[in-house]
Chain A
Amino acid sequence: MISFVETCRVSFRAIVSNKMRSGLAMLGIVIGVGAVIAMLALGAGATLQIKSVMSSMGSNLLTIRPGTVTSGGIRMGAGSTPSLTLSDATAIKEECPSIEEVLAQYSGVAQVVYGNQNWSTQISGVTEGVFVVNDWQLKLGRPFTEQDIRSAAKVAILGTTVAQELFGYSDPVGETIRIKNIPFQVIGVLEPKGESSWGRDQDDVVMVPVTTAQKRLFGMPRPDMVSSITVKVKSEDLLDRAQEEVTLLLRQRHKISNPQDDDFTVRNMQQAMEAAQESMKVMSLLLGSIASVSLLVGGIGIMNVMLVSVTERTREIGIRMAVGATSKDIMLQFLAESGMLSMTGGAVGVFLGALLSYVLSQAFNWQTVVLPGSVALSFGFSALVGIVFGLYPAYKASLLNPIDALRYE
């Protein structure tokens, strides 16, 4: 009985002695494993990014949006009713004990003009809670005061992108800009936050008091309405309780007795995060399974090469059988050969896949993470593919009749 190590040596020599063909046989596996690794790295990176963005936004947040309205049995869809008001926000802040800060928003898009420069951007009407709830920091100037909100003051805080577009590198604080032809005094500039996980530039924004947005800039279907209320809960453990407090308070304020008639939805950031992560997982699984199809095709390539190799080496098989190789010895020799081919291809593929995901992360600024689990998975799968697709050619070789094999030219 030939030892396993010797079998591997014999197979290794056969691989090395025909480098071109072995290389081509491996290519399919290399591409397959590389694609799987890169796809899984992209998926893992995206999941991680969502997690970090969500936690930077604060996972102890509740988002309240106007809900559906049911009129005559017809449900109108989310946001169809302008049900939330600024006074709801004030009431939440005053009456819910688990809540730290409240942000009410009413936003629109408008052209911002300074001198001969202009820029179209999001005008975010906010309450003073925006700095606590959305974690904004000021680079220059001062935040909104309660007085600004109450009096619908014509003051604005610029995101860095807007500041740069309108003012270049000069200090905008104290300057006057025009929004919808109304003059606003710039009172501050925000610290940059960068891109959001959905690729939107978060710094492309102008903040004004929510009351100013309501009364001076954007018309309202209903007085005092806001488009969303975001609540920061004192701690993560209080999320569920806070959600309950807010829901009960709003039902009471909106005079709703049946929970099914709620004209608002309260969403927990943690739930949103889990949902987003779940969808990323599905996405990366999908990408990974598409990539693994190419791994399968690589396996067929190996089988093809092994079949040719068995035919070509019929005489060698005959000689080995004549001097005492059993069917099992021959079978193992060819199995080891296809296994080695696919595993080498797998190793190269892991390396190239890692390289590809690094290149992607550099070129497109996508976050990628090569997880050890995905390396083990795709490498293991490639080894399995090699052995499975090597089985038939190896079996064919082992069945050869030594006399016929010796006569084969």
Chain B
Amino acid sequence: MALIEVKDVRKVYRMDGVEFEALKGVSFSIEKGEFVIIMGPSGSGKSTLMHILGALDVPTSGSYLLDDREITDMTRDELARVRNAKIGFIFQGFNLLPRMNAMENVELPMLYAGHPTAERKRKAEEALELVGLLDWADHRPNQLSGGQQQRVAIARALVNDAPLLLADEPTGSLDSKTGAQVMEMLVSLNEKRGITVVLVTHDSNIASYGKRVIGVLDGLISSDGSKEKVESRVDVE
């Protein structure tokens, strides 16, 4: 069953009267439990696609079904609720709240879901334990290394039991070793817990972690295929 179904999605930006079509009709679907890499150079429209997949923005035309719900014509507040319940975000810059400790950062999505205090604490501890940071629960982001911060962000993304984990260049701010650790964590979450992972990157090394790679170029899907295909193509290059 498809978790994500994108049909002929277009996105047009208007700036000072000039129209710019960032997505020119994109269609694909992603099944539950997949690990998908969306890859493309900067300016290809992959960030726009990520924003739409993450319900941070709505397409100009086309249809986007997330967990069988149409996102395209939702209001701002409906989108906020969808993000809260269905999507866990992992950003390149971690995007943790600097004045809160790891625990409170992880609790944040549950705060907006309206969970009671005791449950928030229990689930946040669980999530921190899963990423191996329970001992660091009372540390603030600036007291943590980059890899640790990204793991806190992963815990935050997991804590509301969202079916979709959306990662935007999650290793972009990390060195290759910690980057690899973060990637392995995502892979294991995908394999052990069946969480659907969609990862946006321009880095072909990261692409090797995915079972499926969707290439984006100039606002269109340029390739969509299994890992083997991409790897063979990389080999050719």
Contact = CB atoms under 8 A, between A and B. Distances in A.
A406 B91 contact: yes
- Most chain B CB within a 10 A radius of its CB, from A316, A320, A324, A329: A324
A321 B56 CA distance: 9
B77 A324 contact: no
Contacts of A17: 99
B31 to A, nearest CB: 25
Contact of B80 (A10, A316, A319, A326): A326
A320 B156 CA distance: 12
Contacts of B114: 1-3
Contact of A327 (B77, B96, B113): B77
A299 interface: no
B57 interface: yes
Interface in B90-148: 91, 95-97, 99-100, 108-109, 111-114
A325 B51 contact: no
Nearest to B95: A319
Interface string A13-36: 110010000000000000000000
A282 interface: no
Interface in A305-345: 315-316, 318-329
- Most chain B CB within a 10 A radius of its CB, from A17, A322, A403: A322
Contacts of A402: 56
B83 interface: yes
A326 B76 contact: yes
Contacts of B81: 324, 326
A406 B112 contact: no
B80 A325 contact: yes
- Most chain A CB within a 10 A radius of its CB, from B76, B91, B113: B76
A403 B111 contact: no
Given A403-B51, A403-B57, A406-B91, A323 B112 contact: yes
Contact of A324 (B84, B91, B96, B99): B84
Contacts of A326: 76-77, 80-81, 112
Contacts of A6: 111
B189 interface: no
Contacts of B84: 323-324
B8 to A, nearest CB: 22
Given A2-B114, A406-B91, A323 B56 contact: no
A323 B57 contact: no
Interface in A188-229: none
A10 B97 CA distance: 12
Contacts of A3: 114
Q: Give the dominant DSSP class at A's interface.
A: helix
A10 B89 CA distance: 21
- Most chain A CB within a 10 A radius of its CB, from B56, B84, B96: B56
A10 B100 CA distance: 10
Contacts of B77: 326-328
A211 B1 CA distance: 118
A331 to B, nearest CB: 11
Contacts of B51: 403
A270 to B, nearest CB: 63
A325 B113 CA distance: 9
A320 B80 CA distance: 10
Interface residues of B, number: 26
A406 B56 CA distance: 10
Contacts of A322: 54, 56, 83, 89, 95
Contacts of A329: 80, 112
Interface string A293-309: 00000000000000000
Contacts of A320: 97, 108, 112
A235 to B, nearest CB: 68
Contacts of B97: 316, 319-320
B30 interface: no
A320 to B, nearest CB: 7
B106 to A, nearest CB: 10
A265 B38 CA distance: 99
Contacts of B56: 322, 402-403, 406
Interface in B29-52: 51
Contact of B113 (A13, A319, A324): A324
B85 interface: yes
Contacts of B156: 323
A318 B81 CA distance: 14
B112 to A, nearest CB: 4
A196 B187 CA distance: 90
Given A1-B114, A17-B99, A323 B91 contact: no
Contacts of A321: 80, 83
Interface in A228-271: none
Contacts of A1: 112, 114
A13 B89 contact: no
B57 A324 contact: no
A42 B156 CA distance: 57
A325 B112 contact: yes
A59 B35 CA distance: 93
A406 B108 contact: no
Given A402-B56, A403-B56, A403-B57, A324 B95 contact: no
Nearest to B166: A322
A2 B112 contact: yes
Contacts of B57: 403
Contacts of B111: 2, 6, 10
Given A323-B109, A326-B77, 10 more contacts: A1-B112, A318-B95, A320-B97, A320-B112, A321-B80, A323-B156, A325-B112, A326-B76, A328-B77, A403-B57
17 contacts: A1-B114, A2-B111, A2-B112, A3-B114, A10-B111, A13-B99, A319-B96, A322-B54, A322-B83, A323-B156, A324-B80, A324-B85, A326-B80, A326-B81, A329-B112, A402-B56, A406-B91
